[in-house]
Homo-oligomer: A and B are copies of this chain.
Amino acid sequence: MKATKLKRLQAAGWKAGTAREFLKLSEEEAMLVELKLLLVDAVRRSRRKHGLSQTELAQRMKSSQSRIAKIEAGDPSVSLDLIMRAFFATGAGRQELKRVFSETEKMAA
A→B interface (CB under 8 Å): 1-3, 6, 16, 28, 31-32, 35, 51, 53, 55-56, 59-61, 79-81, 84-85, 88-89, 93-94, 97-98, 101-102, 104-105, 107, 109
Pairs A–B under 8 Å by Cβ, sample size 11:
A1-B56, A2-B51, A3-B53, A16-B59, A28-B61, A28-B89, A79-B80, A79-B81, A97-B104, A98-B104, A98-B105
> In the complex, are the beta carbons of A105 and B101 less than 8 A apart?
no
Closest chain B residue to A17, Cβ basis? B62
Minimum C-beta distance from A104 to chain B (A): 5
Which one of A28, A61, A97, A101 has the greatest number of beta carbons of chain B within 10 Å? A28
